[in-house]
């Protein structure tokens, strides 16, 4: 992982108060993978219905935009961090 992705992971961990193991982070090639991980992790802590995956998506997208300096419209579930969002 490059510096961009390390800082992104740290920002996501801080925003959602969770830990993303390095091995798991290395496997997350697309934004949708990260979103699914965050939602699944949050659901392990609370009742499944209490996690609003749309709200998680909006918060996650805002973090990605701020950390990587990309446009909101570029952050889609299928967007690849390195190839599409130019993370190092």
Give mean pLDDT, residues 13-41: 96
C-beta separation of 15 from 64 below 8 A:
no
d(C-alpha 18, C-alpha 48), whole Å: 16
Give me the pLDDT at residue 82, please.
95
- In the chain, domain spans: 3-74
Residue whose C-alpha is closest to residue 39's, from 77, 88, 70, 4: 77
Q: How confident is the model at residue 48 (pLDDT cuts 50, 70, 90)?
A: low
Give me the pLDDT at residue 88, please.
87
- Residue 28 CB neighbour total at 10 angstroms: 19
Look up the pTM and report it. Answer: 0.93
Q: What is the pLDDT of residues 54-76, one digit of tens each?
A: 999 999 999 999 999 999 999 99
| Burial of 8 from C-beta contacts in 10 A (0-12 / 13-18 / 19+) | buried
């Amino acid at each position: 992982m490059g510096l961009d992705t390390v800082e992104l992971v740290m920002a996501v961990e801080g925003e959602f108060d969770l830990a993303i193991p390095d091995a798991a982070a290395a496997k997350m090639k697309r934004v949708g993978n990260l979103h699914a991980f965050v939602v699944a992790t949050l659901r392990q802590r609370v009742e499944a219905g209490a996690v609003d995956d749309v709200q998680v998506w909006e918060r996650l997208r805002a973090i990605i935009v701020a950390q990587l300096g990309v446009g909101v419209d570029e952050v889609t579930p299928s967007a690849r961090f390195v190839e599409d969002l130019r993370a190092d």
